[in-house]
Amino acid sequence: MIDVDDLIELVRNYNPRTNEELLRKAYAYGRRMHAGQYRHSGEEYFTHPVAVAAILTEQRLDDATIVTALLHDTIEDTKSTYAEIAREFGDEIAELVDGVTKLTNLQPNSTETKQAENFRKLFMAMSKDLRVILVKLADRLHNMRTIRSLPPEKQVQKARETMDIFAPLAGRMGMQWMREELEDLAFRVLNPEARASIIRRFITLQRETGDVIHKITNDIRRELEKAGVEADVFGRAKKPYSIWRKMEEKEQSFSRLSDIYGFRIITRTEADCYCVLGAIHRRWRAVPGRFKDYISQPKSNGYRSIHTTVSGRDGKRVEVQIRTRQMHEVAEAGVAAHWAYRDGERVENPFAVDPAKWIASLTERFESAEDHDEFLEHVKLEMYSDQVFCFTPRGDVVKLPRGATPLDYAYAIHTRIGDSCVGAKVDGIRVPLWTRLKNGQSVEIITAEGQRPQASWIDIVVTGRAKAAIRRSLREEDRERFIKLGRELARVAFDHIGKKATDKALATAAKQLGLKDAPELLARLGSAELTARAVVQALYPELAEGGEEIDMSRAVVGLQPDQTFKRASCCQPVPGERIVGISYRGQGVVIHAIDCEALAEFEDQPRRWVDLQWHSGTHAPVHSVSLEMTIRNDAGVLGRICTLIGEQRANISDLHFLDRKPDFYRLIIDVDLRDVEHLHAVMLALEAESDVAQVRRYRDLGRRP
């Protein structure tokens, strides 16, 4: 593990004015909080936060970010609290640590709805302070570097998350080096045979042709000397995953794949970039369609560079990137360049993008998304796609994802123009609406009054904005017919399970599915965008079974062998919730939910706090939770409520009336449950019942252990 002096030295190398006392304090605090915790590899857990901090020093980041890295797991995994970190290190660092903590539970491989919600959380955290994501990416990078210590199934899960979210996010932020390393580390887990095969091919190729990179590098340097341009030249073989992806996309074997080498030329000035480009193209033949000028048209994350591909030695294709030193710093650090330090001063790189403006440009198009599917389409296109730049007839630039059509262009200009589009001209020539646009083309849209979007347009467009607008228009056009059909489908589905598709039940299902209201749910049901089964499952999910039930005596992990425990009566924690224990002499440990207000009185007694968590697996339905309900005062209502709870396989252990009125009852029902998911299912079923006016979890600080 890197000791504190070495870490401070890493920071001092680029920031001599670093707050050494703050770094020492954070290092000591983090080590103390994580004492006794170990990683799957057997190492002390604190080796991980220190390694994350070291990764961030490579990006020359400020003290607050380095301290956040050292503390990023304290709120999640130790007895530390937000209030304590704010008191010890200030509000800025507490906010950053809290932001990283909130991203810990992202579950990218879950359902589409949850995935969209996870992306919303991610972008919300980014909008507050982008440094949260920088710490999270460094955290994921170190976890991937040390992933071999995890069980095989966990390795696959983490690798898929990395490939689906974290690697594209790093690329979108301009941190290409991190994207490539994350992709390759994930590739090593997900397809080790393919990766090993590509590495073997590389070794064979090098044996047959010699050191091609060294030869081409010398060739380029000679051409630059002739042109009188000073520049640094670096060459490398592309990463195995990058080569694999090209093989898959082009459906070519390794032997036929040519552009497996990449070269970077770092110049002194912007003018030199174009001189180098001329020298390269004079010496070698340029490959058509492989030239991109991101200096005159920078990416939204600040990336600037000239890309070209040429036929080099022995006909091998060589990819060349040309940029200045300042452009290179942004290309390496991406948006993180905004916080970079050198010699104790914040670097004023003219090409570093303002993170606030970058986030605003990234998220503005998400705000129009009406549901999870549309939001997810927006995010994935924004995260995973390269861009093409087209021009309006007046010369304005319109950015679109690769593969976009004139219809996408029309909707990018304005929804009204997209809806009324009847044709398009590209570079003055009439083209079909499904034509794929290319860089630098000029596009003119032809519109007509009375034109409405066609259902076939959904398959033509690629942008989330265009798809959302077309779907919205089609829904509005047939909305009444779809609502009527959806209501009948819902009635049949609910009758099948012995329930009624009441307005309240449908409204509750809509809320659960992230839709605006019941009519919206019915419209989607009638248009086949949503299944009746999904609506029924949203309200009445079957409890997962299988596996041996965990005995109550061993439901909690983290106790000493001789320690006993009981649940606090004030907050009644259940499996699935974050918990902490408070020790009592002679009485064992009392478990509280992490957000229980009763914990405030123990803040000055840290020795009594015990770090605990629920045992993973299926728990027995023995955890009593109090629910406060307001129900209609009518014959048979209470009986139906009890039956409904029983249908969710939950047992009523006690019932107490708080208030009796002519038209309603207010009461507390104690229900025995398995875990927090079981609690959610019971409350959801109760909320959907038309005779239930209100249901909430009842917590009473007056009830103490």
Q: What is the pLDDT of residue 238?
A: 75
CA distances from 354 to 337, 462, 696 (A): 9, 28, 44
Are 623 and 575 in contact, with CB atoms under 8 Å apart? yes
Place of tokens 């979108």: 172
- CATH classification (class only), 360-476: alpha beta
Beta pairing class for 692-697 and 623-632: antiparallel
Give the phi and the psi of residue 518 in degrees, each rounded to 5: -65, -45
Angle at 75 between CA 159 and CA 702, to 5 degrees: 130
* Burial readout 117-138 (b: 16 or more C-beta within 10 A, e: otherwise): bbbbebbebbeebbbbbbbbbb
3-state secondary structure 25-93: HHHHHHHHHCCCCECCCCCECCHHHHHHHHHHHCCCCCHHHHHHHHHCCHHHHCCCCHHHHHHHHCHHH
Place of tokens 């006690």: 654
Q: What is the pLDDT of residue 545?
A: 42
Over range 351-380, report the average pLDDT: 53
The mean-pLDDT minimum among 323-337, 358-372, 441-455, 532-546 falls in: 358-372
Nearest to 67 by CA among 104, 44, 46, 93: 93
Place of tokens 């103390």: 32
Write out the two tokens for 598. Answer: 């009763």
Do the domains spanning 4-190 and 199-338 agree at the CATH topology level? no
Fold of 4-190: Hypothetical protein af1432 (1.10.3210)
- Helix-then-strand count for the chain, H and E: 28, 25
Over range 501-512, report the average pLDDT: 89
Residue 340 pLDDT > 60: no
Fold of 623-697: Alpha-Beta Plaits (3.30.70)
Q: 185: how many CB neighbours lie within 10 A of its CB?
A: 24
Dist CA 473 CA 469 (whole Å): 6
Q: What is the pLDDT of residue 498?
A: 76
Dist CA 618 CA 428 (whole Å): 66
What residues form DSSP beta bridges with 629? 667, 695
Known active-site residue 76: yes
Q: What is the pLDDT of residue 359?
A: 58
What type of residue is 371? D
Are 585 and 608 in contact, with CB atoms under 8 Å apart? no
Domain boundaries, the chain: 4-190, 199-338, 360-476, 478-539, 549-618, 623-697
User: Helix, strand or coil for residue 378?
Assistant: helix
What is the reported pTM?
0.53
Place of tokens 């570093």: 352
Of 207-221, 263-277, 370-384, 449-463, highest mean pLDDT: 263-277
Q: Which entry of 20, 43, 58, 76 is annotated as an active-site residue? A: 76
What residues form DSSP beta bridges with 583? 589
Dist CA 311 CA 317 (whole Å): 4
Nearest to 163 by CA among 383, 359, 379: 383
- pLDDT over 90, % of the chain: 19
Known active-site residue 73: no
Residue 627 pLDDT > 90: yes
Dist CA 698 CA 629 (whole Å): 9
- CATH classification (class only), 199-338: alpha beta
The mean-pLDDT minimum among 15-29, 125-139, 502-516 falls in: 125-139
Q: 114-118 — which CB contacts under 8 Å span 24+ positions?
A: 115/376, 116/372, 116/373, 116/375, 116/376, 116/379, 116/514, 117/372, 117/514
What type of residue is 467? K
